[in-house]
Amino acid sequence: MAMPSPLYERYLRSQRRRQWLVWFARLMLLAIFLLLWELAARWEWIDSMLTSKPSQLWTSFFDLARNGSLFHHLWITTQETLAGIGLSMTAGILAAILFWWSSFASRVLDPYMVVLNALPKVALGPIFYIWLGDRYSVYGMAVAISLIVTIIMIESGFKEISRTKLKLMESFGATKLQMLGMVLLPASVPHLISTLKVNVGLTLVGVIMGEFLSSKAGLGYLIIYGGQVFQMNLVMVSIALLALLSVVLYGVVNLLELYAKKKYHHES
């Protein structure tokens, strides 16, 4: 096996340094933001009763963590988000397959997809509450917000698959089921992961909106409760945990993407 050239090694070192520099700049930007926030509150440039401050957030976080309520609400939101992602991705893939399988169904349902995509989903909240109750209406909101976008993105990905390969398989007598399993779905893995990245954010938005409207637990409930009793520390801690949860979920999807790329290169 040939050793890499010195020029290539210098290039790799420069890329690693650049990556470390990017991470350092990100952390510094966050640290500067928190420092300015803390100083502005201490020097009374802003009203800490309305905005809280980082030092108070730490105190509130540990107080809530000690009594166990914080992790209970975090787990409720995480569970609802994961369930919403699973439901919307599964339903979205099945619907996109139906549209690919039957051009007639695609042409009939396409106007309804456009209308549903433009419809403000928050208007469906009271309906879900009546139909599903205060607990399961959160899942309804999560799926309602993410499902249509998921279907549209996956269907668009299916259309980008090379028609030459499908025609070649059809010429050899392959059925649609064989084309689906052997060409369409394997070739759509990168697009499915891209859709999953979008789905994470949309589902989390749907979960929080559902918790705002009807839930009695979860980070969205804590935000509404904290606003009602004027405890901004509780609101800010919940928002920080939401940001952390979104980062973790997005990181998991990125790891899944890396795994898919390594598997694809290994097989190719």
Q: Give the pLDDT confidence of 231-252 residue by residue, as tens digits.
A: 788 888 888 888 889 989 988 8
Size (the chain), residues: 268
Q: Which amino acid does the sequence have at 84?
A: G
**pTM higher than 0.85:** no
The span from the CA of 35 to the CA of 237, in Å, is 17
Residue 52 predicted with pLDDT over 80: no
Token pair belonging to 254: 């990125």
Whole-angstrom CA distances from 212 to 126, 188, 247 are: 12, 35, 21
pLDDT tops 70 at residue 268: no
pLDDT single digits (tens) 18-48: 888 888 888 899 889 888 888 888 887 877 7
Which carries the bigger pLDDT value, residue 156 or residue 13? Answer: 156
- CA–CA separation, 98 and 259 (whole Å): 28
Q: For residue 9, is pLDDT > 80? A: no
- Residue of 8 and 40 predicted with greater confidence: 40
No. of helices (H) and no. of strands (E), the chain? 12, 0
Mean pLDDT (the chain, rounded): 83
Mean pLDDT of 246-262: 85
CATH 3.90.340.10 applies to domain 69-267 = no
What percentage of residues in the chain have a pLDDT greater than 90?
9
Q: By the 8 A CB rule, do 253 and 200 touch?
A: yes
Reported as a single tens digit per residue, the pLDDT across 147-206 is 888 998 888 888 877 676 777 777 777 777 877 777 788 888 888 888 898 899 889 988
Rounded Cα distance, 171 and 250, in Å: 41
Per residue in 86-98, pLDDT (tens digit) is 999 999 999 998 9
* pLDDT at site 23: 86
Span 60-66, average pLDDT: 78
Q: What is the pLDDT of residue 162?
A: 61
DSSP 122: G
Helix axis angle, 69-101 to 125-160, nearest 10°? 50
| Residue 3 confidence (pLDDT) | 60
- Mean pLDDT of the 113-133 span: 84
> How do the domains of the chain map onto residue ranges?
69-267
The model's pLDDT over 209-224, given as tens digits with 9 standing for 90+, comes to: 888 887 788 888 888 8
Residue 90's pLDDT is 92
Q: Is the pLDDT score of 1 beyond 70?
A: no
Q: In the Cβ-directed half-sphere of 33, how many Cα atoms lie within 13 Å?
A: 6
Q: Between residues 179 and 75, which one has the greater pLDDT? A: 75
